[in-house]
Amino acid sequence: MNYSYLVKRGIQIIPVVFGILIISFLMIHLAPGDAVFMFIGESGADPEFEAAIRTRLGLDKSLFEQFILYIKGIFSGDLGRSFVLNEDVSKIIFDRAIPTIILMLSSISFGAIFGILIGVYAASKPYSMRDNISMVIALFLYSLPNFWLGQMLIIVFSVNWGLLPVSGMESMILGDKSFLFDRFTHLVLPTITLGSTLAAFVMRFVRSSMIDVLGQDYILTAKSKGLSERKIFFKHALKNALLPVITYIGLRLGYMLSGAVVIESVFGWPGLGLLMLDALFERDYPLIMGLFIVISLSVTIITFIVDILYTYLDPRIRLK
Amino acid sequence: MRNIIGNNSKKLILSVLLTFFVVFIFTIEKVKAAAKHGGALIIGVPGSQKNLNSAIYPKTFSGQLISINLFDGLLRVSKFGDGKLTPMLAKSWNVSSDGKTITLNLRDDVKWHDGKKFTSEDVKFGILNICKPYHPQGKNNYGIIESISTPDPYKAIIKLSKSDATFLTKLDSKWCSMAPKHILENQDIPNSAYNNAPIGTGPFKFVEWKKGSHIIFERNKDYWAKAANGDQLPYLDKLYFKILPNKTSLISSLEAGEIDFIHSYPGYLAGKEIERVNNADNGIKVHSFAYANMAFDFIYMNTNGAHTGNKKVRQALAHLINTNEIIDKVFAGVADNVRNDKQGFISWYTGEVPTQYYPYNLAKAESLLDSAGFKKDGNGNRFKISIIHEQKNSNHPKVLDIMRSNLKAAGIELNVMKMDAAAITEKVHKKMDYDMYITTIATGPDPDLLTKSWHSKNIGKGWNANSSGYSNKKIDALLDNGRGELDPNKRKKMYIEAHQILAEDIPMLPLYGTKWLWTYNENLDGFPIGYTFRDGLETVNWDGKVPNNRK
């Protein structure tokens, strides 16, 4: 493995995150709306109260001063304190990251497994009926808006059939259900909704990648050596065809996180997406900034890891 | 002899039977009473909460609805807007003839959730050190307090610098919930961890708050209040507030029977949505109660605007909006028309209707616009005007669609602008750089509450303040005097006069009254609660029919 490449690639993360930091800081402060007014709430306040709140939140300083203070805070590991939730931003984000991570992992697993299975099945007989049907499924899944699919699933499975819960991550009263089963039932619909687009893309990706690999010379060699179709298909072709799929899934993570904002709101899933929506509407600057930093950092780090994984899995690739 | 014995034994048998009967009746009553207790309630709450400390104001409606279960006020403004006060932590009170000295006699059987006694020291601390400095309206409400003395643990004497007819209503838990001195005394109140897990004297105790997911309270077994029939309150063992971030999931949860109850948010459910819930056939129904104080959807008119600055234009706009059409199409008939005979924001208090009101009348509107100098051009157009609405309200876009075509008929082009609350605060309430803004307001329990929206001293002072930029010295004087006047009859006359002027000037145009709709499982008993949506759930119970999944 090329370590200097790793270091170089790692250093690139710093300007990316810093750039995101500056842009998002400016954007949220330039957006119309005053955090102090949002803090005070619907019944309004007298000017002295308002001024006191402004000072307490540090919003009486110039934008530049606020930015410098914020950067200083970050370097000492302090993401600040939420204006409205009255807690440290890092603690809030940590608490709310867990549901999002659970939802992401289950959606990725669902999308990847479902997508690979159908993709491989379609590729096994290109341009046949099964291929065409899989094509229709894929088209259907990625042209559906996520939030609409979510609502429909709720109406069918929860409201009409009463099989699965409408929203949230856990039942308020567990009754005789086991803890794990309860969590599982809450996870099903959001997972399908968030994972469906990924499944559609992976389906098409795996199919074309498989067809591509199956046409390669070494497959012909394997055939001429008398290996069974099954062995060629799964051992020689699939393994190689899945390589680009891994990178692809890694790169989709960013999109999936933005999808999670919508899905979490549809299903009342208490994760980062829902938190971000609330924070944006409340103009909770420290919390919004904290979320931007954590999310952009995790996306860049995941992309970085995927890159490394790729060079590791495919020794032919030597990135410089 | 025999007879005597016989008589005696008859008496004995009779008295034994009588005793049995009394015990039997008593036991049945007991069993019946006990049967009402128990069970849990799952309450759907739209949107997220910020803190649970009612005393420093949880900033959102839903936050107040939840936190109010943990706290009590000193007294309560009674139901149905009759302005009567009922005792809470103060069992009686006395106002001196000049209105400047208020003596509160406190209950001596009230305990904080941690077991400590509630005393007059808590009252003094609560009002002066928490509600006054940390409630956003604190200075406005309690600024006239000169001192609070505590001659004994169950008596507090409040001295005011001037009389104020509304002062006692400000001791309702909506404005000042009692918070414990022994916990908060040396704390940095706004940053205290107490705000997320408060200790109060209320009917329920805090158990857990999982942010973005749910909040759990349990029954306060030592609660001081009893029901009218003598039952110990509260009835329910647990309250679960399930946070549902949007209306669609809230309605779906009601349809699926996952939640038992949602509070009344004026105008939150409308038309088809009410039908959906009522048709779900799971015992959950939408109920409407007639509270005297009303919730309005109304339009702020910028009285300094290019067009709306002209009174005739404001009156013309009022004549152009077809409220009947809005009520039929958007609310499926479930809203009150306040534009005809019941027009006005404080008719519920004054009992009188302003002589000037604005039913739909295109011809009259056109002549008003002509006389204001806004004549039609060659293409039949007069001018363009914009209206802002908040993105969270799902009814307003539909209302504005109708309004757009209403105004078009008179040659006015309506430009609809959707904004979030923060942007509206800045543009409408602070900078007042807008033409019109449609929003919601709940009036009552005192007409003085609307002073905020009409008095010129409140121009540009934030939400529901005077964001029309309306300035009228006569109105200012009437509102100031109305607040200080202790004679109810004289006071009412002042508001009737003010009402008349406001109806002519229309800085705010009421459109329709939204209903107080309470959505709950029909097996529940103990409704309606409180005078508005801000009261606790201590009287609510399953009436002995606790469903299995709520045990």
Q: How many CA atoms lie within 13 A of A317 on its CB side?
A: 12
Rounded to 10°, the helix A239-267/B247-255 angle is 80
Q: Report the alpha-carbon distance of residue A185 to residue A183 in Å, rounded.
A: 6
- Tell me which residues of chain B, numbers 182 to 211, contact chain A at a CB-CB cutoff of 8 Å: 190-191, 193, 195-196, 210-211
Report d(CA A187, CA A98) in Å as an integer. 13
Q: How are the residues of chain A apportioned to helix, strand and coil, as percentages rounded to the nearest 5?
A: 75, 0, 25
Three-state SS letters, B442-505: ECCCCHHHHHHHHCHHHECCCCCCECCCCCCHHHHHHHHHHHHCCCHHHHHHHHHHHHHHHHHH
Residue B125 has pLDDT above 90, yes or no: yes
**Degrees, nearest 5: CA angle B105-B109-B112:** 105
pLDDT value at residue B127: 95
What is the reported pLDDT for B81?
55
Give Cβ neighbours of residue A117 (< 8 Å, ≥ 6 apart). Answer: none
* Residue pointed to by tokens 């929203």: A167
User: How near does any CA of chain A get to the CA of B283, in Å?
Assistant: 14
- Exposure class string for A66-95: b at 16+ Cβ within 10 A, else e: bbeebeebeeeeebbbbbbbbbbbeebbeb
Pairing outcome for strands B336-337 and B517-521:
unpaired
pLDDT value at A315 more than 60: yes
**pLDDT tier at A92, thresholds 50, 70, 90:** very high
The burial class, CB within 10 Å (0-12 / 13-18 / 19+), for B13 is exposed
Q: Closest Cα to residue B248, out of B233, B230, B268?
A: B268
Per the CB < 8 A criterion, the answer to whether B212 and B95 are in contact is no
B462 pLDDT more than 70:
yes
Cβ proximity of A17 and A296 under 8 Å? yes
Question: Contact at 8 Å (CB) between B529 and B18?
Answer: no
Structure tokens at B348: 């519920």
The model's confidence at residue A45, banded by pLDDT at 50, 70 and 90, is low
- Give me the pLDDT at residue B534, please: 60
Contact of B464 with B454, CB cutoff 8 Å: no
| DSSP letter (8 states) at residue B527 | P
pLDDT at B111 over 90: yes
Cα(A198)–Cα(B338) distance, integer angstroms: 52
Residue B113: how many other CB atoms lie within 10 Å:
18
More confident residue, B34 or B442: B442
**Does the CB of B138 have a partner CB in chain A at under 8 Å?**
yes
pLDDT band at A37 (very low <50, low <70, confident <90, very high): confident
- pLDDT, tens digit, 9 for 90 and up, residues B250-278: 899 999 999 999 887 766 787 788 888 89
Q: Which residue has tokens 């609560």?
A: B126
Pairing assessment for the beta strands B40-46 and B238-244 based on DSSP bridges = parallel
User: In this structure, are residues A169 and A183 in contact, taking their beta carbons and an 8 Å threshold?
Assistant: yes
pTM: 0.86
Distance CA B388, CA B299 (A): 9
Spatial CB neighbours of B405, under 8 Å, sequence gap ≥ 6: none
The reply to whether residue B212 touches residue A270, judged by beta carbons under 8 angstroms, is yes
B327-341, B472-486, B512-526: which has the minimum mean pLDDT? Answer: B327-341
* Closest CB from A35, A48, A86 relative to B191: A86
Residue corresponding to tokens 């020689």: A236
Q: Do B422 and A33 touch (CB under 8 A)?
A: yes
Q: How many residues does this entry show for chain A?
A: 320
More confident site: A174 or B35: A174
How confident is the model at residue B518, as a pLDDT? 84
Interchain contact A86–B (C-beta under 8 A): yes
Structure confidence at residue B3 (pLDDT) = 44
Query: Of B61 and B549, which is predicted with more confidence?
Result: B549
- Give this complex's ipTM: 0.86
Backbone angles phi, psi at B109, to 5 degrees: -115, 25
Distance from the B7 Cα atom to the nearest Cα atom in chain A, whole angstroms: 60
pLDDT at residue A117 in the model: 92
Give the whole-angstrom CA distance, residue B273 versus residue B271.
6
A259 vs B319: which has the higher pLDDT: B319
CA distance B402 to B76: 40
Q: Can you give the pLDDT at residue B361? A: 93
Task: Give the position of tokens 């939140």.
Answer: A57
Residue A312: predicted pLDDT:
74
Angle at B65 between CA B64 and CA B67, to 5 degrees: 60
Separation between Cα atoms, residue A53 and residue A59, nearest integer Å: 9
For B361-387, b/e burial (b = at least 16 CB within 10 A) is eeebbbebbeebebeeeeeeebeebeb
The mean of the pLDDT values for chain B is: 87
The alpha carbon of residue A141 is apart from the nearest alpha carbon of chain B, in Å, by 22
Residues 2-61 of A with CB under 8 A from B: 31-35, 37-50, 56
- Judge contact between B187 and B194, C-beta under 8 A: yes
What average pLDDT does the segment B167-182 reach? 89
Between B332 and A190, residue with greater pLDDT: A190
Smallest CA–CA distance, residue B209 to chain A, in Å, is 12
Do residues B434 and B388 lie in contact, with contact meaning Cβ atoms separated by under 8 Å?
A: yes
Reported as a single tens digit per residue, the pLDDT across B360-404 is 999 999 999 999 999 999 999 999 999 999 988 889 999 999 999
What pLDDT score does B26 carry? 57
Helix (H, G, I), strand (E, B) or coil at A14: helix
pLDDT-derived band at B5, boundaries 50, 70, 90: very low
Highest-confidence segment of A231-245, B72-86, B472-486:
B472-486
Q: What is the mean pLDDT of residues A86-103?
A: 92
Kindly report which listed range (B54-63, B180-189, B452-461) carries the lowest average pLDDT score: B54-63
Q: How close A25 gets to chain B, by Cα (Å)? A: 17
In angstroms, the CA B85 to CA B75 distance is: 7
Of A42, A278, A283, nearest to B464 by CB-CB distance is: A42
Q: Do A159 and B190 touch (CB under 8 A)?
A: no
Structure confidence at residue A299 (pLDDT) = 84
* Distance in angstroms (rounded) separating the CA atoms of residues A12 and A6: 10
Comparing B309 with B35, which gets the higher pLDDT?
A: B309
**Per the structure block, which two tokens stand in for B176?**
């000042």
pLDDT tens sequence across B498-522: 988 998 999 999 898 887 788 899 9
If contacts are CB pairs under 8 Å, which of residues 261-290 in chain B contact chain A?
280
**Amino acid symbol at B315:** Q
Q: How many beta-carbon pairs below 8 A join chains A and B?
A: 173
**Quick one: which of B445, B345, B62 has its CA closest to B336?**
B345
Average pLDDT along chain A: 86
Mean pLDDT for A61-82 is 87
CA B156 to chain centre: 27
Percent of all residues in chain B with a pLDDT value above 70, rounded to a whole number: 90
* C-beta of residue B286 within 8 angstroms of C-beta of residue B255: no
Q: Tell me if A47 sits within 8 A of A92, measured CB to CB.
A: no
Q: What are phi and psi of B385, to 5 degrees?
A: -145, 150
Sheet containing strand B204-210, edge to edge, reads B204-210, B214-219, B238-244, B40-46, B261-262, B517-521, B284-288
- Provide the pLDDT confidence category of residue B1 given band limits of 50, 70 and 90: very low
- Nearest residue to B263 via CA among B250, B282, B273, B272: B250
Over residues B535-547, the mean pLDDT reads 89
Q: CB of B430 within 8 A of CB of A34?
A: yes
Q: For chain B, percent helix, then strand, then coil, each to nearest 5?
A: 35, 20, 40
When pLDDT is cut at 50, 70 and 90, the band that residue A185 belongs to is: very high
Q: For an interface test with A, give the residue of B420, B431, B450 to mutate (most A CBs within 10 A).
A: B420
Residue B7 pLDDT level (bands cut at 50, 70, 90): low
What are the distances in angstroms from CA A80 to CA A17, A55, A66, A281, A290?
18, 15, 12, 19, 8
Whether pLDDT at B4 is above 50: no
Range among A292-301, B291-300, B473-482 with highest mean pLDDT value: B473-482
Asked which of A260-264, B15-19, B108-112, B414-418 is least confident by mean pLDDT, the reply is: B15-19
pLDDT value of position A207: 92
Burial class (CB in 10 A: 0-12, 13-18, 19+), B503: buried
Nearest to A189, CA basis, from A150, A163, A162: A150
